[in-house]
Structure 1
Amino acid sequence: MSKKLKIGLFGFGVVGQGLLDIIQSQQLNLEIVKIAIKDPSKQRTLQKELFTTNHTEILENSEINTVIELINDADAAYTIVTTALKSGKNVVSANKKMIATHLKELVELQQKHGTSLLYEGAVCGSIPIIRNLEEYYDNELFSSISGIFNGSSNYILTKVFNENQSYEDALKKAQELGFAETDPILDVGGYDPKYKLAIATAHAYGLFVAPENILNVGIQNLAQSDVNYAREKNLRIKLVPTAVKVGVDKIVTYVLPKLVNREDFLYNVENEYNAVTVQAAFADKQFFFGKGAGGHPTGAAVLSDIVALRYDYRYEYKKFNSGHAVQHSDQSLLEVYLRYEDDGLVEKLEFEEISERYAAKNFKYVIGIIKLSSLIKHRDLLLDSETFVAYTSNEVHLERSLQNTLAEKTLANSAEVF
Structure 2
Amino acid sequence: MGKIRIGLFGFGVVGQGIYEVLRRTKNVDAEIVKICVRSLDKPRPGEIDRRFFTDSADEILLDPAIDLIVEVIDDAEASYRIVKAALERKIPVVSGNKAMLANHLQELIEMQKRNGVALLYDASSCGSIPVIRNLEEYYDNDLLLEVKGILNGSSNYILSRVFDHQCPYAEALAQAQALGFAESDPSFDIEGYDSLFKLVIITVHALGVYVHPRDIFTYGISTIHDSDIRYAREKRVKIKLVAQVVKVAGDRFTMFVMPEFVSPKKYIYSVDDEYNGVVIRGECYDRQFMFGKGAGSLPTASSILSDIMARQHDYRYEYKKMNYADRPAYTTDILLRIYARYTDTPVPAILPFEKIHEQYFSSECNYLIGDVKLSALIEHRAELNGKDLFLANIPLFFIDRD
Q: What does residue 21 of structure 2 align with? A: 22
Displacement, 1:387?
A: 0.7
Q: List per-residue Cα deviations over 1:168-214 (Å, max 9, x = no partner).
A: 11111111111111211111001111000000000000000111111
**Counterparts of 2:400 and 2:350 in 1: how far apart (Å)?**
22
Letter in 1 for 2:22: I
Does residue 35 (structure 1) correspond to residue 16 (structure 2)? The answer is no
Contact 2:148 2:243 in 1 (8 A): yes
Q: Secondary structure at the match of 1:88?
A: coil
Does residue 5 (structure 1) correspond to residue 4 (structure 2)? The answer is yes
Structure 1: 5+ residue stretches without partners? 400-418
Does residue 170 (structure 1) correspond to residue 172 (structure 2)? The answer is yes
Contact 2:70 2:95 in 1 (8 A): yes
Contact 1:221 1:383 in 2 (8 A): no
Aligned CA distance change for structure 1 residues 113 and 396 (closer, same or farther; 3 Å): closer
Structure 2: 5+ residue stretches without partners? none
**Counterparts of 1:376 and 1:258 in 2: how far apart (Å)?**
17
Letter in 2 for 1:345: V
**1:347-362 correspondence runs (5 A):** 347-362=349-364
Letter in 2 for 1:19: I
Aligned residue among 207, 210, 215 for 1:208: 210
Does residue 304 (structure 1) correspond to residue 306 (structure 2)? The answer is yes
Displacement, 1:348?
A: 2.4
Number of residue pairs aligned between Structure 1 and Structure 2: 398
Contact 1:333 1:397 in 2 (8 A): no
Q: What does residue 406 of structure 1 align with? A: none
Does residue 125 (structure 1) correspond to residue 127 (structure 2)? The answer is yes
Q: What does residue 191 of structure 2 align with? A: 189
Q: Secondary structure at the match of 1:147?
A: strand
Aligned CA distance change for structure 1 residues 268 and 396 (closer, same or farther; 3 Å): closer
**Counterparts of 1:394 and 1:364 in 2: how far apart (Å)?**
23
**Counterparts of 2:20 and 2:174 in 1: how far apart (Å)?**
29
Letter in 1 for 2:32: I
Contact 2:153 2:273 in 1 (8 A): yes
Q: What does residue 224 of structure 1 align with? A: 226
Deviates more, 1:289-298 or 1:359-368: 359-368
Letter in 1 for 2:9: F
**Counterparts of 1:228 and 1:289 in 2: how far apart (Å)?**
28
Q: What does residue 380 of structure 1 align with? A: 382
Contact 2:341 2:366 in 1 (8 A): yes
Q: List per-residue Cα deviations over 1:61-117 (Å, max 9, x = no partner).
A: 000010000000000000100111111110000000001100011000001111000
Displacement, 1:56?
A: 0.6
Deviates more, 1:364-373 or 1:91-100: 364-373
Aligned residue among 48, 56, 59 for 1:54: 56
**Counterparts of 2:387 and 2:400 in 1: how far apart (Å)?**
29
Contact 1:338 1:390 in 2 (8 A): yes
Q: Secondary structure at the match of 1:319?
A: helix
**Counterparts of 1:221 and 1:30 in 2: how far apart (Å)?**
46
Q: Secondary structure at the match of 1:39?
A: coil
Displacement, 1:140?
A: 4.2
**Counterparts of 1:108 and 1:394 in 2: how far apart (Å)?**
36
Deviates more, 1:16-25 or 1:201-210: 16-25
Displacement, 1:398?
A: 10
Q: Secondary structure at the match of 1:72?
A: coil
Displacement, 1:161?
A: 0.9
Contact 2:80 2:100 in 1 (8 A): yes
Letter in 1 for 2:300: T
Does residue 285 (structure 1) correspond to residue 284 (structure 2)? The answer is no
Contact 1:120 1:302 in 2 (8 A): yes
Aligned residue among 329, 334, 337 for 2:336: 334
Contact 2:345 2:389 in 1 (8 A): no
**1:251-262 correspondence runs (5 A):** 251-262=253-264
Q: Secondary structure at the match of 1:153?
A: helix
Does residue 367 (structure 1) correspond to residue 369 (structure 2)? The answer is yes
Q: What does residue 411 of structure 1 align with? A: none
Q: Secondary structure at the match of 1:368?
A: strand
**Counterparts of 2:95 and 2:238 in 1: how far apart (Å)?**
34
TM-score (norm 1): 0.93
Contact 1:66 1:89 in 2 (8 A): yes
Q: Secondary structure at the match of 1:389?
A: strand
Displacement, 1:38?
A: 1.3
Contact 1:334 1:397 in 2 (8 A): no
Letter in 2 for 1:31: E
Q: List per-residue Cα deviations over 1:192-248 (Å, max 9, x = no partner).
A: 110000000000000001111111110010000000000000010000011111112
Contact 1:140 1:282 in 2 (8 A): no
Q: Secondary structure at the match of 2:346?
A: helix
Contact 1:159 1:170 in 2 (8 A): yes
**Counterparts of 1:73 and 1:337 in 2: how far apart (Å)?**
35
**Counterparts of 2:296 and 2:95 in 1: how far apart (Å)?**
15
Deviates more, 1:247-256 or 1:103-112: 247-256
Give me the identity figure in percent: 46
Aligned CA distance change for structure 1 residues 361 and 185 (closer, same or farther; 3 Å): same
Contact 2:218 2:256 in 1 (8 A): yes
